[in-house]
Amino acid sequence: MHQPNVYVDPTEHFSFLVPNGWSTDTSGQQGESVMLFAPEVDDNFRANVNVIVQELAPWTPEEYVTISRLQLKKLSNLAALPVDGPAPRLPGSWLLEWTTWEAPIPVRGRQLIAFRAGRAFVVTATATAASFARHR
C-alpha cells in the first residue's frame, strides 16, 4: 500500500497531503512558503498550489479578504467572482474562485484564506481552465 506524502512546514506549523507525483518547492523564490507542481503539463502550464503566509496587521481579516477579492476581480476582469464566501469545514476562513481568459492560456484558480495567530495563510491552486476540474 502506498503511503501519502505529507508536507510539514517547520516554520509556520502547517501541514497537508501532497498528491502522488507532485513536486515540492520550498525555495521561496516567489515569496511563498511552499509551492507544489503537478507532474504533467497542460498547454505549457503545470497545475500548482502555493502557500503564502503573511502578517495580518494592519488589516482585519475582513479587510484582507476584501483586498484579495479586489485583486482577483481585476485579474479576472469579473464584476463578481463565481465563488466568494465562507469556506466549508474551516470556520473564519474564506474561499474565492476565478477564471482569467486574458492570458495566452485560460487559467482557473481557487484561493483559501485562513487566519491564525495574527497571520493570513493563503493557499492558491491554479490550473488551466480545461484541466481544473481534474485537479480539484
Residue 21's domain spans which residues?
Answer: 5-135
Residue 3 pLDDT: 58
Q: How does DSSP assign 68-81, residue by residue?
A: HHHHHHHHHT-SS-
Output the pLDDT for position 32: 87
User: What's the grid cell of residue 74?
Assistant: 481585476
Provide the pLDDT for residue 1.
Answer: 47
Give me the number of domains the chain comprises: 1
Q: What CATH code is carried by the domain that includes residue 72? A: 3.40.1000.10
Cβ distance 113 to 94 under 8 Å? yes
Q: What's the pTM?
A: 0.91
Number of H helices, E strands in the chain: 2, 9
pLDDT in tens, the chain (136 residues): 455 688 888 888 888 888 889 999 888 888 889 999 999 998 889 999 999 999 999 999 999 999 999 999 999 999 999 999 999 989 999 999 999 987 688 999 999 999 999 999 999 999 999 899 888 7
